[in-house]
Amino acid sequence: PDQFQEVEVSPPALPHLPPGAIVVWGQTSASPHGHISVALGNGQEASDHVQSQITSLRGASNYRVFIPRDG
């Protein structure tokens, strides 16, 4: 728990997350399991594949962002 800090990030700022930031999307009716990704720091995210960082999950914006603490 002390290796990450939860921060508030607006949807338009999600593509600008630093490398290693974790985005945890909650469940939606269209995505019953939610979504988890790791920011690559270049506007991309990695989960089961690499894609542009999403800013909504099928229209939902229920997410939490965790930034690695300096170690």
pLDDT in tens, 3-33: 999 999 999 999 999 999 999 999 988 888 9
Residue 44: pLDDT over 70: yes
With cut-offs at 50, 70 and 90, classify the pLDDT of residue 71. low
Residue 2: pLDDT over 90: no
Candidates 6, 13, 2; CA nearest to 65 is 6
**Token pair for 32:** 């019953």
Pair 46, 40: CB distance under 8 Å: yes
pLDDT for position 61: 85
What predicted TM-score, i.e. pTM, was given to this entire model? 0.89
With cut-offs at 50, 70 and 90, classify the pLDDT of residue 1. low
- Calculate the alpha carbon distances from 58 to 22, 52, 62 in Å: 18, 14, 11
